[in-house]
Amino acid sequence: MTGPLKVALLGCGTVGSAVLRVLQDQAGDLGARIGRPVEVAGVAVRRPAHHPDVPAHLLTTDAHALVTRDDVDLVVEVIGGIEPARSLMLAAFEAGKSVVSANKALLAEDGVALHAAAAKAGVDLYYEAAVAGAIPILRPLRESLVGDQLSRVVGIVNGTTNYILSRMAETGAGFGEALAEATELGYAEADPTADVDGFDAAAKAAILASLAFHTPVSAVDVYREGISTVTATDVARAAEIGCTVKLLAICERVAGEDGDSVAVRVHPAMIPTSHPLASVGGAFNAVFVEAAAAGQLMFYGQGAGGEPTASAVLGDLVAVARSRVTGAPGPGVTGYANLALRPMAETPTRYHVSLDVADKPGVLAAVAQEFARHEVSISTVRQTGRGDAATLVIVTHSAPDAALSATIAALREMPAVRGVTSVLRVEGLS
C-alpha cells in the first residue's frame, strides 16, 4: 500500500477550488504528513465549462460514479445542501471510503444516521469546516475535551449577523441600514434569510451540542430567533449597562429534578463587554467552552471564506488519510448520553426590559408586582425621568423563559406602561 491515496472532490465552488489548489500545490507536504502521497482522482461538478482552471481530465458530472470508483480512497464533499450530498456520502461509506464534509445542513439534519453508516462501514466522517470555518472546534470537542465534562458551549458562529450587529453598535444604525451595508460589501448574501433569521447558526448549534453532550441534537430541536427585530434602541440600552448585543448559539447542560437535560438555542442577547465573546467583532466567529476540569476556553478565528474553510477541510483530510494508512478509523461520535432536550419554555434565561411608564406613585410597585406574579425575580431596576414620563430599565434574575415572556406580555397590557421599548435576553452577567 505505497501508491498514492486518491481523493474525490465533490463540488468546486469557493471552498472546493481552494481545497483543490492546496491539494495540488502542497501535495508533497501533505503526503509527507500523511505517510503516503495524495492526489486528486476527480472533481465532480454540475457544469464543467464553468471550471476552466481545473484540468479537464479531472472533471466529471457523474459524482456517484466518481465516489464509487475502485481507485478512489477518500471523498471530500463540499456541495452543500441535503441531496445529492446525503446519497453520495452514503454511497461512499458503502464503498468503504471515508468522507470529509463541510455540510452543516446535512450533519445537523441527519448526523446520527450518517455517523451510524460510517461506523458500520468502519470508515471516518469528519466535518470540521461545517462549524465556524477555519476554527478548530469540532475535533477539540470530539477528541481533546472528550475526557472532560462540558457544561456550556456558547458561540458566535455566524459572521454575517456578527458583522451587522457590530456595525449597529459602532454607528448607531438600525438593522435595515446595517444589513444594506453588509450586502453592499459582500458580507451578506442577496437572500440573507439563512443568516439573519438564525437558521445557519441553529444548524451549527445542533452540531456543537451533539458533540459536546454526546446526545443527538438536530437543527429542528434548536430554539431559534434571528436578529431582524434587534433595534438601535436595544443596542443603545445594552451599551448603557456595559453590554453589547450578539447573536449567540448557546448549548448547555441544565440540571433538573428529573436529571440533566440539554438546552440548545440561538437568539440575540446582551453580553457584558468584559466577556471574551464581546470582543469578537466584524465577521469573525468564536466559540467559548466551559468544562468542569478545563475551565473556560475560547476558540477564535475566521468563520467563512474559501481559504479559511479549506484549511479545516484539509486538516480533516490529513486525519482521515492517516486513518486509511494505519488501517484503523479515527475516534467516532457517540450519542450514548442521549440526554433529554429541554424546551425553550423551561430553559432558564435572564431578560433586560426597558419600559416607558407614567411617572407617578405606585407604577414601579405595579410593574414589580407583575414580575412577582410570574415568579420572576428582579436583579436591578434603574429609572430615568422625563416630565410625567419615566423609563424603567429592569434586569431580571434567571427564570424559565416562558415565565419571562409571559411577564412581558402582561406588562404590555398594563395601562401605566406606555410602551415596552426593548426586550432582550442577557447572558454572562454576574
User: Is 204 annotated as catalytic?
Assistant: yes
172: amino acid identity, one letter: G
Binders of ligand HSE in range 192-231 (CB under 6 A)? 195, 200
Separation of alpha carbons 350 and 380, rounded Å = 12
The answer to the question of whether 17 is labelled as a binding residue is yes
Stretch that binds ligand HSE, among 155-163, 176-184, 209-217, 229-237 (CB under 6 A): 155-163
The answer to the question of whether 303 is labelled as a binding residue is no
User: Which are the contacts of 25, defined by CB distance < 8 A and separation ≥ 6?
Assistant: none
Stretch that binds ligand HSE, among 31-39, 74-82, 154-162, 267-275 (CB under 6 A): 154-162
Q: Residues 98, 101, 158, 311: which binds ligand HSE (CB under 6 A)?
A: 158
- Number of residues located near ligand HSE, criterion CB under 6 A: 7
Cell of 244: 453589547
Stretch that binds ligand HSE, among 30-38, 73-81, 156-164, 341-349 (CB under 6 A): 156-164
158 or 166: whose CB is closer to ligand HSE?
Answer: 158
Cell of 224: 431559534
The answer to the question of whether 177 is labelled as a binding residue is no
- Which residue, chain included where needed, has cell 461506523? 119
Separation of alpha carbons 297 and 290, rounded Å = 6
What value, to the nearest 5°, has the Cα angle with vertex 66 and ends 60 and 67? Answer: 140
102: amino acid identity, one letter: A
160 or 215: whose CB is closer to ligand HSE?
Answer: 160
Cell of 332: 467516532
Interaction of residue 42 with ligand HSE, rule CB under 6 A: no
Q: How would you class 61 by CB atoms within 10 Å of its CB: exposed for 0-12, middle for 13-18, buried for 19 or more?
A: exposed
The answer to the question of whether 122 is labelled as a binding residue is no
Alpha helices in 229-362, H assignment, sequence order: 232-240, 306-326
- Strands 125-126, 150-156: pairing is unpaired
Of 266, 205, 217, the C-alpha closest to 111 is 217
The answer to the question of whether 360 is labelled as a binding residue is no
Binders of ligand HSE in range 290-309 (CB under 6 A)? 303-304
Q: Residues 17, 160, 244, 391: which binds ligand HSE (CB under 6 A)?
A: 160
Cis peptide upstream of residue 84 (ω within 30 degrees of 0): yes
132 or 271: whose CB is closer to ligand HSE?
Answer: 132
269 or 291: whose CB is closer to ligand HSE?
Answer: 269
Known binding-site residues for NADP(+) equal 10-17
Known binding-site residues equal 10-17, 104, 189
So which residues are the catalytic ones? Answer: 204
Residues forming the site for ligand HSE (CB under 6 A): 158-160, 195, 200, 303-304
